[in-house]
Structure 1
Amino acid sequence: MAGLHIPGFPRIGAHRELKFALEGYWRSEIDAGELEKIAAELRHRHWQLQQDAGLDYVSVNDFSLYDQVLDHACMFGMVPERFTRGRSDSDLDNYFRMARGRAPTGEPVRALEMTKWFDTNYHYLAPELDNNSTFTLHPDKLFDEIVEARSLGFTPKPVLIGPVTLLWIARGDSRLALLPQLLTQYVELLQQLKNLQVEWVQIDEPILTLDLEASWCQALRTAYATLGAVGSRLLLTTYFGDLRDNLDLCLSLPVDGFHLDSVRGGLEYVQAAKRISDDQVLSVGIIDGRNIWKTDLNAALEHLRPVKRVLGERLWLSTSCSLLHVPVDLDREKKLDAQQRSWFAFATQKLNELKVLALGLEGQGQEALAFNAEAIASRRQSKRIHKPEVAQRLAGITGADSQRQSPYPARAPHQRRRLQLPLLPTTTIGSFPQTAEIRAARADLRRGNLSQAEYEQQMLGEIQHCVKQQEQLGLDLLVHGEAERNDMVEYFGEQLEGYLTTQNGWVQSYGSRCVKPPVIFGDVQRPHPMTVRWSEYAQSLTDKPMKGMLTGPVTMLQWAFVRDDQPRSATCRQIALALRDEVCDLERAGIPAIQIDEPALREGLPLRRGDWQAYLDWATEAFRLCSSGVADDCQIHTHMCYSEFNDIIAAVAALDADVITIETSRSNMQLLEAFEAFDYPNEIGPGVYDIHSPNTPGVKQMVALIERAARRIPVDRLWVNPDCGLKTRQWQEVTPALERLVEATRILRKRLG
């Protein structure tokens, strides 16, 4: 029978146990021992699920208390001095200080930079390296998990990020010069794993799905010539795309097996099966690790059977990538109807899909395969998916629909007259703290303990409080605070036709932060206004201008589980038209500025540069399609966070937003380097307050950041704002931070005005 394994499993827990344990530890409500006890229980449960599904190996070291890249940085001693200087804190607290800038003990410090893991919505912490970096091996976490798994009766398969990918995703110049030193530590690690009689080591090199310069290709050859000589059995693992011109390079590396993503890589595995040597295995990532649609198992078997005849037991079956990117268990979804449930497979169900495929290759499991075929046909034939009126509206789109009435230089004077904002106008990104009272009201509404009218009345009170606080702080362009919203994507998904939402479909975004992506299952349209009454009410409370808040079409696409039966571009245009209706309604309600967030624009960029332009064309068109129905004096904002967009700055400009706000504080304004070589034509708000850290920046720190920004951006086009929304913070953190932001701005107005 084909071997079965997975590259990784979600670690947050079906009930978000890890999230609540982490936050309890950070608040000093539980100690390190209790935190580790909960983590161990989760690992045991997840290994048991893998074994019960018939997997030959359970993945170890895929579990992390915060981030797997941070774990590797610690394992190889990539700990910047600022986290350890003069401190005798525990390794665990230093770990969280690197992640968050703060731990239960010790003083705050600037955290590691956070950015997106390839083209996913998972955020990793980037190791910091320089020419003087040295590496030391600290493998206790990995070894402890191996011992733990074996003691429970499981066969462990350690998961490592490969050395070349680890250097690629790190920060610092001349990183490749550090490869020989890093390889010394990897060799020592593999030797110790060999001494522990570990049968297989999964070593991930997802950079093989990217465009690689010759130096990085050579680095891979050098690395695996060295690592392959150790004698450990290595499963070289790639995911998130096809290999294309890197296929030859990959298959030439001296390892014992290869894992290829067949969901995004197509039938490259068929080529690989013909080319690998007789002593190598091929792991085919046939089950989608990034989406929740049930796999068409019968179609998959048609492709796998010829490969099985060639490889026999050297064929392994797997998910395309780690299941980190999907929810844990569909069985917890009690409100989906039977037909909808039949369309989906979460992480636990995907384990069973692997088992059914393995049985199918042996001519068994016919009942399960028949049930799968019935579910696939049910979805294809469902009348809930296609709406003729949506197709008709799409067909009627013209070029004029995605163009503002006038270019920015002509619009800007109209907006300034209407808004009457000072030099260096201050604003926030949209959300304010989701307090315990707000969360309790939402929970009471779900349980039926609060009527819809009572809930809405409470939210109006929260909006009133938020507007009053902003006025007292002295902010210039206000927001209503989004008290009524559970999530920036899910909130709209609950109101748009063609989306459905889950009860417990949680996915880790970073650390303890989880999101519940909605599912786009059919044609999208807006049945009624979604935000207008909230923004209209907020505007009625103040003489200051109010900013309406929407999530953009690309982000509504990227941060959902997207239907796979039509091009993503078509789905994105459907969303754009639905949002266009909302934008126009906000304008008609008297809202003078509307922010359409697109933090996922860069994330959606294909991994291969040759595929970029086609994506950017439809992505930027979708944004303009939803934003261009307003008059010149309506100011359109957009926001992007934790996205490196230097190489797509022209596409960012092509959005033609009047104001763009971006994350820059954690990178110390380094992201503004994009604006040195490119003359960005519109207005920019570089963030000066890192909201993903509990640290409160000082006035001097903010002044310095604004001054750095003013060297690159004309001061009359410069805004001052936090990096991102304030939803995850507490009022006692937000209030002093925004007070300092306003004070720093006042200082700079006198200095630069």
Structure 2
Amino acid sequence: MKTSVIGYPRVGALRELKFASEKFFKGEIAAEELQRIGATLRAAHWKLQQESGIDWIPSNDFSYYDGLLDTASLFNVIPKRYRALGLGPLETYFAMARGYQGKQGDVKALAMKKWFNTNYHYMEPEIEDTADIRLEGTKLFDEYAEAKRLGIATKPVLIGAFTLLKLAKYTGAKKAEDFADHVADAYSAVLDKLNALGAAWLQLDEPALVTDLTTEDIALFSKLYSRILSAKGNVKVLAQTYFGDVRDVYPTLQALPFDGIGLDFVEGKRSLDLVRQYGFPDGKVLFAGVINGKNIWKNDYPRTLGLIREIGGHAQQIMIGPSCSLLHVPYTLAHEKKLPAEKKRFLAFAEEKLRELSELKAIAEHADPHASPLYTENEKLFSGPRFTNDEAVQARATALTEADFRRLLAFAEREAIQKAKFNLPPLPTTTIGSFPQTADVRANRSSFKKGAITEEQYKQFNFGKIEECIERQEEIGLDVLVHGEYERNDMVEYFGESLDGFIFTENAWVQSYGTRCVKPPIIWGDIRRAKPITVEYSAYAKRLTDKPVKGMLTGPVTILNWSFPREDISLKDSALQIALAIRDEVLDLEANGIDIIQIDEAALREKLPLRQSDWHREYLSWAIPAFRLTHSGVQAGTQIHTHMCYSQFSDIIREIDDMDADVITFEASRSDLSIIESIQACGFRTEVGPGVYDIHSPRIPSVEELKQALKRMLESINPAKLWVNPDCGLKTRGENETWASLRNLVQAAKEARNEL
């Protein structure tokens, strides 16, 4: 038995790549310096895995922005509008990722979507009818050779042909099948070059195989790989799957001449049953994902060794590894100086998971695992309690009835009451909540955490920023204002810090997209609200203006999905506990005069099962009610907003309507406003604000561009139900671009009103 890693985090244990990339974007460092830092990180990651005893170490899992964007670039899948800029390769790459506005032109970024059921975002490749798909880039080969020069034999990693075609957007008349031969030839060219370089393995990631597949999908997969694998030569090819099981295609995988098949035995509910039912082909290697690559709890060795033994009864050759890339967990516990030792001993980040793989391999070599101290220490760890329980919280959740999940008045009645109460103009303008977290904001928070300033000084600074924010929003003419969220480090971590039941890290950063990293809280016990969280700042902002001010909260499903959940209770139980805590905050805001309250559910779709048959039974049956629980106790005149971003919502649009919010804002600009067709088709009752511009790009949209977006929306959406807003919070943007964009947004809305 050997060990293999699917992929490793890439931004650096202390976010070195993030900071270098941002300096490059600002023109503070040259491309050569960015690339030097990238090479340093790659070398460090390879050496760490080598020293940890990993047998097969990945290369080309590193990226300056996104792996699927790397794959598209490798195969010359670059839309014409980016080529027309006439930029260099790296600048063109970043233009696709972030958009471009400068001397060479003005283009939006590619659409950004969630990577299956994770909080990682990928850039959606666009394949035009005239696309010339061929092997063009060299990154995969350069990084393989780079590792080889360091004395490290790696397994190059590449997103597979089927997943590439399934996740791409087709902008013309042609579809995936029309490009299959060209794509297969491009992958065959990769194998030709790897043969020349002497590579032993190529890992082709095919997570799309764990989704619901049609007979046409399976035929496309077979067609692609029948052609690709005929060119493999001496290179062994691994079909690596993760995030679920391959029930629709397992016999096909067995029949094709892959040398290895990677199966997820953590999230793959039927993976073990498939191996039991169909066996595993002799001569192939089973890459078994037995350690959770998405959660941070230490592995239970006795349970995992039992699983490995059973798998070994069906497969002659086994490689053990994580269930997916370790991209989805933090780097290392080494930089966590404040976490108590009694809690750290239960945790395993990416570096610690490498050690777990080596330890499992070593224990498995013993005839009697109990002879290994590694085994007995682990067994002892799991024999005692670790999570903290709160009987009052459990009793409150148990006592919930159906009435607790529904508002008393129906939506239409509430809508009429709110229209009369707020008397907003047609196409009311607002923002999603956060304003730029400038250097002085971050410095104030850091000084307070370090004890360098008092709590009073910290708050007075924030009150001053709120005054500035309200004044500027009034100046440009926004209709519904926000306080700016200057006190918040992160939309989930901030709430977790104010709730009992969470623990926090100092440097457990996880990449969300590009240079954006998050630090998910860890749910350690039952959750309750100990005291009001947002009331003081929201009430202060309310006193500064005669315009409506939104209270800003994060919803229970998003808090849960963007935290590392405990393993001893269900996700449903955790969600209801969080929902009750947020409900208390909602009612306190209302009692303090905040009569518009936004409860963000940005991550609602994130944990939606990848197979549609599991959607309601395993997820929507509790996720939608958990949101309703947060606001069901408010008065009819209190307007409840929510926000969702960067996921495909069309297929659950009716369930979203059933959240019973009064206003829902969606990310829409990067997805070309596709959500509006679904809103129209299902008779959506909730008022909506599809985002009119992309805040994840530094470009400033013109008034005319924004008016065109509104015009498209008004073709499908009743103007009485349409709000005007950016597509997400403005926390990551610069001050100048933020206010310039919002001025244009307000002007576009005014002109659109006049044309109604």
Q: Structures share a fold, TM > 0.5?
A: yes
Query: What letter matches 1:27 in structure 2?
Result: K
Q: CA deviation at 1:521?
A: 1.7
Matches of 2:588 and 2:414, distance apart in 1: 20
Q: What is aligned with 1:90?
A: 88
Identity %: 46
The answer on whether the counterparts of 2:60 and 2:158 sit within 8 Å (CA) in structure 1 is: yes
Q: CA deviation at 1:278?
A: 2.1
Quick one: distance in 2 between partners of 1:289 and 1:104?
A: 40
1:259-316 C-alpha deviation (Å, 9 max, x unpaired) = 111111146247537722221100110111101011101211122124336545x110
Contact preservation (8 Å) 1:689, 1:723? yes
SS of residue in 2 equivalent to 1:184? helix
Give the match for residue 367 of structure 1: 373
Pick closer, same or farther for the CA change 1:270–1:670 going to 2, 3 Å: closer
- 1:136 is matched with 134
What amino acid does structure 2 have at the position aligned with 1:356?
A: E
Aligned pairs for 1:175-190 within 5 A: 175-190=176-191
Tell me the secondary structure at the aligned position of residue 284 of structure 1.
Answer: strand
Deviations 1:324-379 (CA, angstroms, capped at 9, x unpaired): 0000001111111111101110000000000010001101782222222233234x
In structure 2, C-alpha distance between the alignment counterparts of 1:641 and 1:97, rounded to whole Å: 21
Contact 1:551 1:596 in 2 (8 A): yes
For the residues of structure 2 that align with 1:199 and 1:251, how far apart are their CA atoms? 20
Q: Which amino acid aligns with 1:373?
A: E
Residue 605 in structure 1 maps to residue 608 in structure 2: yes
**Quick one: which amino acid aligns to residue 470 of structure 2?**
V
Alignment of 1:337-376 (within 5 A): 337-363=340-366, 366-376=372-382
Residues 393 and 577 in structure 2, CA contact (< 8 A), matched pair in contact too: yes
Q: Contact 2:557/2:601 (CA < 8 Å) preserved in 1?
A: yes
Tell me what 1:734 maps to: 738
Determine the C-alpha separation between the residues in 1 that align with 2:215 and 2:500: 48
What's the secondary structure of 1:285's corresponding residue? strand
Q: Which amino acid aligns with 2:52?
A: A
Please give the alpha-carbon distance, in whole angstroms, between the structure 2 residues aligned to 1:689 and 1:266.
40
CA 105–292 in structure 1, closer or farther in 2 if over 3 Å, else same: farther
Taking the aligned partners of 1:507 and 1:67, their CA distance within structure 2 comes to 14
Q: 2:61 corresponds to which letter in structure 1?
A: D
C-alpha separation in 1, matches of 2:399 and 2:251 = 46
Local SS of the residue matching 1:416? helix
Among 249, 254, 257, the alignment partner of 1:254 is: 257
Please list the CA deviations of residues 26-71 of structure 1 after superposition, one character each: whole Å capped at 9, or x if unmatched: 0111101100000000000000111011111221110000000000
Aligned to 1:3: 2
C-alpha contact (below 8 Å) 1:51/1:58 kept by paired residues: yes
Residues 486-497 of structure 1 mapped to structure 2, 5 A cutoff: 486-497=489-500
- What secondary structure does 2:162 align onto? helix
Describe the superposition over 1:670-693 as per-residue Cα deviations: whole angstroms up to 9, x where unpaired. Answer: 221212311101201111121000
Instruction: Quote the residue 2:238 is aligned against.
Output: 235
Which string of whole-angstrom CA distances, capped at 9 and with x for unpartnered residues, describes residues 496-536 of structure 1?
A: 11111111010000000000011112111111110011100
Does the 8 A contact of 1:93 with 1:104 survive in 2? no
| Residues 239-260 of structure 1, C-alpha deviations (whole Å, 9 max, x = no match) | 0012223322332222001111
Are the aligned partners of 2:704 and 2:748 in contact in 1 as well (CA < 8 Å)?
yes
For residues 443 and 103 of structure 2, the distance between their equivalents in structure 1, rounded to whole angstroms, comes to: 30
Query: Equivalent residue for 2:54?
Result: 55
Q: Which residue of 1 aligns with 2:112?
A: 114
* Partners of 2:601 and 2:300 in 1: CA distance: 33
8 Å Cα contact 1:4-1:316 kept in structure 2: yes
Aligned partners of 2:13 and 2:473: how far apart in 1?
38
**Cα separation, partners in 2 of 1:302 and 1:401, compared to 1, 3 Å:** same
**Structure 1 residue 89: Cα displacement:** 1.9
Aligned equivalent of 1:443, options 443, 446, 449: 446
Q: Secondary structure at the match of 1:345?
A: coil
Distance across 2 between alignment mates of 1:538 and 1:526:
23
Match of 2:43 in 1: 44
The CA distance in 2 between the partners of 1:112 and 1:696, in whole Å, is: 16
Normalised by the length of structure 2, the TM-score is 0.97
Equivalent residues of 2:247, 2:270 under 8 A apart: no
1:670 equivalent in alignment to 2:665: no
For residues 650 and 671 of structure 2, what CA distance do their matches in structure 1 show?
A: 13
Equivalent residue, structure 2, for 1:164 = 162
Alignment of 1:293-308 (within 5 A): 293-308=297-312
Equivalence for 2:227: 226
Q: How many residues align?
A: 746
Provide the C-alpha distance between the structure 1 equivalents of 2:104 and 2:380, rounded to a whole number of angstroms: 58
The answer (yes or no) to whether the contact 1:93–1:105 under 8 Å persists in 2 is no
More deviation, 27-36/599-608: 599-608
Secondary structure at 1:265's aligned position in 2? Answer: coil
Please list the CA deviations of residues 600-641 of structure 1 after superposition, one character each: whole Å capped at 9, or x if unmatched.
Answer: 112221000000112112111000001111000000000011
Inter-CA distance 58–430: structure 2 relative to 1 (3 Å threshold): same
1:18-33 aligned within 5 A: 18-33=17-32
Distance change >3 Å, CA 131–CA 108, structure 1 → 2: closer
Deviation at 1:562, TM superposition (A): 0.7
Runs of 4+ in 1 over 6 A off after TM superposition: none
3-state SS in 1 of match to 2:383: helix
CA distance in 1, matches of 2:669, 2:314: 54
Alignment gaps of 5+ in structure 2: none
Name the structure 1 match of 2:72: 73
2:688 aligned with 1:684, yes or no? Answer: yes
670-679 or 477-486, larger mean C-alpha shift = 670-679
Matches for 1:432-471 after TM superposition, within 5 Å: 432-471=435-474
Distance apart, 1:166 and its partner CA: 0.2
Task: Summarize the alignment of residues 274-285 of structure 1 with structure 2, pairs less than 5 Å apart.
Answer: 275-285=279-289
Q: Distance in 2 between matches of 1:725 and 1:57?
A: 41
Letter in structure 1 aligned against 2:486: A
Task: Evaluate the alpha carbon distance shift between residue 649 and residue 271 of structure 1 in structure 2; reply closer, same or farther with a 3 A threshold.
Answer: closer
Superposed CA offset, 1:100-127 (max 9, x none): 0028874331110001011111010000
Determine which of 286, 292, 295 is the counterpart of 1:291.
Answer: 295
- Name the SS for the 1:168 alignment partner: helix
Query: Which residue of structure 1 lines up, in the alignment, with residue 431 of structure 2?
Result: 428
Is the 2:275–2:314 Cα contact (8 Å) retained in structure 1? Answer: no
Question: Counterparts of 1:139-218 in structure 2 under 5 Å?
Answer: 139-172=137-170, 174-218=175-219
Structure 1 113/715 Cα, relative in aligned 2: closer, same or farther at 3 Å?
same
Residues 51, 270 of structure 1: CA spacing in aligned structure 2 closer, same or farther, 3 A cutoff? farther
Q: Matches of residues 478-493 of structure 1 in structure 2 within 5 Å?
A: 478-493=481-496
Say which is worse superposed, 123-132 or 541-550, in terms of deviation: 123-132
The match for 1:744 is 748
Aligned position for 1:542: 545
For residues 42 and 375 of structure 1, what CA distance do their matches in structure 2 show?
Answer: 33
Where do 1:557-706 residues align within 5 Å?
557-614=560-617, 615-706=619-710
Indicate the larger mover: 409-418 or 539-548. Answer: 409-418
121, 124, 143: which one pairs with 1:123?
A: 121
TM-score by length of 1: 0.97
Structure 1 stretch 576-585 or stretch 659-668: which is displaced more? 659-668
CA distance in 1 between counterparts of 2:558 and 2:725 reads 21
SS of residue matched to 2:117: coil
Q: Check conservation: 1:441, 1:455, Cα contact below 8 A.
A: yes
Q: Is the counterpart of residue 473 in structure 1 residue 472 in structure 2?
A: no
Distance 2:106 2:36 in 1: 27
Matched, 1:15 2:31: no
Match of 2:534 among 531, 534, 547: 531
Q: Distance in 1 between matches of 2:712 and 2:388?
A: 50
Q: Is the 8 A contact 2:134 2:182 kept in 1?
A: no
Name the aligned partner's letter for residue 143 of structure 2: E
Shift, 1:462, TM fit: 1.0
Verify the 8 A CA contact 2:101 2:107 in the aligned structure 1.
no
**Does the aligned pair in 1 maintain the 2:97–2:109 contact within 8 Å?**
yes
Superposition RMSD in Å: 1.4
